[in-house]
Structure 1
Amino acid sequence: MPLKSGDLLRVVAPSGRLRNRTALDRGIEIWRDRGYRVEVTEEIVASWGYLAGKDAARRKQLATAWSDPECRGILYARGGYGGMRLLEHWQWDLAAVPKWSIGFSDITALLWSLSHQGIAGIHGPLLTTLADEPDWSIDRLFQLVSGQPVPPLQGDPWVGNVAYGKLLPCNLTVATHLLGTPWQPDVTGAILAIEDVTEAPYRIDRLLTHWRLTGALAKIAGVAIGRFSQCDPPEGSSSFTVEEVLRDRLTDLDIPIVANLPFGHDGCNAALPVGVAAILDGNTGELSIV
């Protein structure tokens, strides 16, 4: 159901501990300026090592927000690591009213687990990254959650032809670690949209090779490649570039591939719906939401 001004949204920190309260508050203010009620509790500043509190406490945050009948959306504070830990001993309450679930990076674990249940979410800016987005990207996020159409994203065509399928945006590292688990959505005929950060080229190679060896990569209909930031090889090392790895591991699949799309870390992170129909045009380089 589209969001509208006045709807209640709750802030949840399911992953890494909060490092920048100012960035969080700036993101909350953007949502409030659009007319939404945003509820945040002091649990958001909890920490346990690199996590935003112990697993049980973070699960409780998420379960409370998900089961709240007045809440219409969950805004995730930040990524980092830890969301996948919550999926152990977890079941989404399918009797609850489905919520918009908005975030990216480590939040992939939650977005994909919801997609596995047939519930769409938004792979897009976290509260701590939202204020750094350009105006058009912020507008795109609010257009998506309010049910308005959004323009196609433009990238660089690598392999031609056109794919139509369910869009599955993700952080590649997190998504790879969901393969073979009960929380992996069906990737058959899907358009896989991937991004990552601070992974050396050989690690990207290892992740994509794992997809190949499981047979999952052979099932997808197309690949949309976002930003692979800070993924340069160590200085002075003998290495492929990350682009060379992506081309080597993907372009022989004989499916449409578009690269350099404006989503991911360390730059514009255009919002993409998870689990909805999309078209990837490998001839023109466009990714369109149907």
Structure 2
Amino acid sequence: MTSIDVWKQPPYLKPGDTIVGISPSGAIKDLAAVEKAREIVRSQGYNLALDKHWNAHYGYLAGTDEQRREALLEALTNSNYKAIIAVRGGYGAARLLEAEDWETIFRNNPKWIIGFSDITGLLWKLARLNIYSIHGPVLVSLAKEPEWSLKRLFNYLQGHPLPPLQGEGWGNGQAEGWLLPANLTVATHLLGTPLKPPLDGAILALEDVGEPPYRIDRMLTQWRLIGAFREVKGIALGRFSSSHASSHSWTVEEVLRDRLGDLGIPIVSELPFGHEGVNAMLPVGMKVRLDGDQGILTRV
């Protein structure tokens, strides 16, 4: 059973360390964004390396499974690399975990892995192994983050305290648990697979992009039908962007209230993370407090 007391923390970073960018999912589309990210990483006192396959293309994937798996393995085992950031999301990260003894590799090479969206597959695999990781910007979105969000990410990588996040509380008091962020669509497809961590004691943090309200309804209904919310202590909701409703439709906000509002647990919405806007980093596995009355997510 997952416990917030037995997690393994990768080493914090020091000025001059090297962060490596890899592409475990979709093929890169915006080369200029990567160069902007390189300058940001340098301005924070770090070096940015890019894996040799980072700009590969194989259909909609950033290279073959073998190339992307090789990149992940090299990033983990090369002692020159102190943290790993995904170049972008898209699709394909879960395919890498079909092969290799990743449990042993991850346990023997704990490093911060940073990303969101499709990178949920890697973050959830690490959570299943009780290894901390970071739900946060990918390289191509790094330049879009405001200064406070960049400071939040890079300060955390050095071990500094994490400021709370403010959202809109739905009530039901407070709960403490271990933080499990995810893209809702990706996470829904991981339910019932070996990548899904136990949900007992979790504070879920969910976001999504481009999903119309009825599809969000369908996914949350699946979670309800299989009992996935029963052991969850609270739910933190980020941005559900580009969720266009057709005529005679509920809005995404109405769907979230309808499908989650009766769970009897603290829920906070409108938190600043997700696609198409500020994507404040969230520490996967860290003990947090969710205040459903005050609308605050705080690290304990």
Which bracket does the TM-score occupy, shorter chain normalised? over 0.9
Once the two structures are superposed, residues 245-265 of structure 1 have per-residue CA deviations (whole angstroms, 9 ceiling, x without a partner) of 100110100000000000000
How has the CA–CA distance of structure 1 residues 95 and 240 changed in structure 2, closer, same or farther, with 3 Å as cutoff?
closer
TM-score (norm 1): 0.97
| TM-superposed deviation, 1:69 | 2.3
Indicate yes or no: 2:176 matched with 1:133: no
Indicate yes or no: 2:77 matched with 1:84: no
| TM-superposed deviation, 1:42 | 4.2
CA contact (8 A) 1:156 1:258 kept: yes
| TM-superposed deviation, 1:158 | 1.1
Report how many residues are paired. 288
Distance 2:108 2:252 in 1: 42
How has the CA–CA distance of structure 1 residues 275 and 248 changed in structure 2, closer, same or farther, with 3 Å as cutoff?
same
| TM-superposed deviation, 1:139 | 0.4
TM-score (norm 2): 0.94
Counterpart for residue 173 of structure 1? 185
Once the two structures are superposed, residues 199-253 of structure 1 have per-residue CA deviations (whole angstroms, 9 ceiling, x without a partner) of 010110111111111111111000000000001213xx32111011100110100
**Amino acid of the residue matched to residue 48 of structure 1?**
Y
Matched residue of 2:71: which SS? helix
Return 39-48 or 239-248, whichever deviates more: 39-48
Matched residue of 1:74: which SS? strand
Pairwise CA RMSD of aligned residues?
1.1
**Amino acid of the residue matched to residue 44 of structure 2?**
R
Distance 1:160 1:143 in 2: 32
Percentage of matched positions with identical amino acids: 53
Counterpart for residue 33 of structure 1? 43
Once the two structures are superposed, residues 106-138 of structure 1 have per-residue CA deviations (whole angstroms, 9 ceiling, x without a partner) of 111101111111111110111000101110001
Structure 2: gaps of 5 or more residues: 1-10
Counterpart for residue 276 of structure 1? 286
Distance 1:94 1:126 in 2: 20
| TM-superposed deviation, 1:91 | 3.0
Distance 2:122 2:292 in 1: 29
Distance 2:97 2:63 in 1: 15
**Amino acid of the residue matched to residue 60 of structure 1?**
E
Q: Which runs of 4+ in 1 moved over 6 A?
A: none
**Which of 216, 224, 228 is the matching residue for 2:240?**
228
**Which of 264, 272, 279 is the matching residue for 1:262?**
272
CA contact (8 A) 1:66 1:96 kept: no
Matches within 5 A, 1:199-210: 199-210=211-222
Counterpart for residue 16 of structure 1? 26
How has the CA–CA distance of structure 1 residues 105 and 262 changed in structure 2, closer, same or farther, with 3 Å as cutoff?
same
CA contact (8 A) 2:21 2:49 kept: yes
Structure 1: gaps of 5 or more residues: none
Counterpart for residue 240 of structure 1? 250
